[in-house]
Structure 1
Amino acid sequence: MEPRLKNTLGIDMGLNKFLVTSEGESVPIPQYYRKSQQRLKTLQKRLSRKKKGSKRWLKAVKYVAKQHKKVADQRKDFHFKTANELLSKAEVIAHENLNIKGLAKTRLSKSINDAIWGSISNYFNCQSRKCWR
């Protein structure tokens, strides 16, 4: 006897929209790195003007690291919430198998790395194990 699946959902990942479901629902790309790029540029410029090894240089390094962590945490939160929302709607989620490392070497690398498609598929795997799906 084959198990019967109530809901199946397919997703397509792209650069215009973060993902589009088989039902036609789309999730926009938040572009956290692009939004914080100007702030990072300012902080890194300040860092470059400090004498390496000084206390003010260490302080500037902490500011740059804090900004990078903020972007990483925003992405992580977005992926976690998106994965949970999709897993609550469907029992089975099918997504495309992308060569992300190969795509990241193209001229669209900043946009591809900002979207971070690989981590959302990891969240799908992790969350589905927790939910026993």
Structure 2
Amino acid sequence: MRSMGLTLLVLILTGCQINPYTFQPDWTSPDWFGAGKEDAMNGAPVKDSQALADDFNDPDVDQSEYLRGYAEGQKKICEEGFIHAWGLAGKSFPASCDTTENAAKLHDAWQQGMDESMKASRLN
């Protein structure tokens, strides 16, 4: 009986053993291009190096890669149809489109979407 209890204890304890190399974190540097693209697509304004270093807990910020990604995100979001849809959804005008060369035209498209959204909500 005693040997069976000891065997059972050993089996339980070995089943709980964790391989220390299985869950080792992967310490890679942030994807600065992806971070810039995501910020632009979310409508956030451009972040400076200090803000990025604080956000990602990494002092080695690649600001040029971040800006390249931000510009790519702006290309996707700062289009009249997309901005019009943001207005229809009741979202505020994205700060990432404030610095584009066609910002006034985009703002008009967004405002038109907001007006249509307000008109539709009054009808309901």
Q: TM-score, normalised by structure 2?
A: 0.27
Greater helix share, 1 or 2? Answer: 2
Q: Which has the larger radius of gyration?
A: 2
Greater strand share, 1 or 2? Answer: 1
The higher relative CO (CA closer than 8 Å, separation ≥ 6) is in: 1
Q: TM-score, normalised by structure 1?
A: 0.26
